[in-house]
Structure 1
Amino acid sequence: MSEAALPPKDRLLDAALLNVPFDGWSPMTFELAVQETGIDATVAKSLCPRGAVDLAMHYHARGDALMLERLTSADLSGLKFRDKIAAAVRFRLEVVSDKEAVRRGTTLFALPQYAADGAKAVWGTTDAIWDALGDTSEDVNWYTKRATLSAVYSATVLYWLGDTSDDHTATWEFLDRRIENVMQIEKLKAQVNGSPLLSRLMTGPNWVMSHIKAPSRIPRMDLPGSWTRPRQD
């Protein structure tokens, strides 16, 4: 697709990426992108009310889309599920063409006023991975899977940003260790659930968690989740 045929927001993003290594995701970067593309300033502001912050979010979403393309075309059928997760995270980082843009984004989303945006972006990535790998959870596991992977993904990104090893081999080893840590936690949870005494102690919490449901895939104007009302027999 030619540059002129791209949607205006993508044109703004491509222009901004030329300046992000120097000025970060800043107002100056956004202004220069508007000038470079020739897009009317009013139109640009309507597409990105927060300027470069919205472009940074769009950049992250573009990376997620590229990751999903790789996941769709890759043959992961012979891999264990934990290795599929590792492959997805690796794909997500490998589609990044400019590490400095991610570094600058990490700095931006570390600011208190944009921390929620950063968390939303990471959650979106992990949600996309679980969905692509066929997760069908409808209970509290929907949340715990994404929360756990968000922690693994975030730690791996920070490690990757400072990794100077060939082909980022140190990062992939770090990722494998983090996933192994998660697997050990899952084994411990299974042991706890298998203990009659601990199972009785967890009766109350388990009852609460059993009523937590995953958010509906049908767009709704409510909170991202639901609570089922216990039956009154």
Structure 2
Amino acid sequence: MTRAFEIAFGLTLTALAGFIDALGFIRLGGLYTSFMSGNTTRMSVALGQGAWTLAAGPAVLIATFAVGAMLGGGLAGLTSPRWRTACVLGFEALLLVAALAMEITVPDHAVAALFMALAMGAQNAALVHVGGFRAGTTFVTGALYGFGQKLGLALAGHGPAFGWVPDGAVWLALLSGAVAGTVAYGVSPLYALCGAVATATLLAALAGGFALAGRQVVDPSER
């Protein structure tokens, strides 16, 4: 597997996270399925104002994301490095299929968002680490910091001239995915998740194909 493919694979995962987070944000009226810092702030403000009911929504999403991370991490720990990415992404795809099914059958409830948060928590167990940066993450605060830091070092002549590009690409991937998710929701609110399901399934199939061939998407422990 070439480095270019590894980077493209990871950036597609990050774009997928942006796509799903945008759908959740619109559907839940300002809450997130992957951006838990935002949910934590919303919950904290609600608690500070004594609005216990308003704090419940972000609290449930935070807990659900953590459970997804636990399940994804556990699955990754139980599988060999060769099959790790394929198994985690296959699990994520199944969770997104469940989210789509809930969205279609009970569209007036937020059940689908819980499966989306589970999927986003699990996805972080399939991060792709290439050349000193990580792609596939469902949050980009660290990437944005890395972008600014490395750009500053480059301008000061103390770092690679283009060392900031990968981190900037991660942020742009999330941005692009979120824009695509918003457009998809505008076209078909009920079936917008189909694009996310198809993407996750394709990535899982690609990872599985490489595993069958005796290769693997770059694993964090290997770089």
The TM-score with structure 2 as length reference comes to 0.31
| TM-score normalised per structure 1 | 0.30
Which structure has more relative contact order (CA 8 Å, sep 6+)? It is: 2
Q: Which has the larger radius of gyration?
A: 1
